[in-house]
Amino acid sequence: ALGAAAGWAALGGREAASADPAQREATVMTSKFSYFSGRPLANPESVSVFSGTGNQPLAESIAGFLGATLGSLNVSRFADGEVSIKINENVRGKHVVLIQSCSPPNVNDNLVELLLMISTMRRSSAKTITVVMPY
């Protein structure tokens, strides 16, 4: 019950569940994983949701579902094809959710972009990093 459960607990799913009986229904637990059923986060200001170039509409939908806004992130490519990631807001001490699809035709590019986003968030002192990687 660690993996996804730890990520959603960090987003407020379990923290709020123990305090309020109505919130307890917001987190669904099974023996393998847990997921958040769409109630607002306990503290939306402490969560930042970012997306790579894999699937922007999906990321906007997930951010809206969580009740958070999509963070500002610039992904650019150098002339030789290398990827550059720049975060346009402060993520120090925040719970960061990265959404990046790794589906064809750019599987390798999207995966490298995701790894660079994780590295950038770590170097920017994010408290936790949760990756949502749909196929």
| Strand 34-36 relative to strand 47-51, pairing | unpaired
What single letter denotes the amino acid at residue 117? M
d(Cα 68, Cα 107) in Å, to the nearest integer?
27
Q: Predicted confidence band at 23 (pLDDT cuts at 50, 70, 90)? A: low
**pLDDT, tens digit, 9 for 90 and up, residues 115-129:** 999 999 999 999 999
3-state secondary structure 55-108: CHHHHHHHHHHHCCCECCEEEEECCCCCEEEEECCCCCCCEEEEECCCCCCCHH
pLDDT at 105: 82
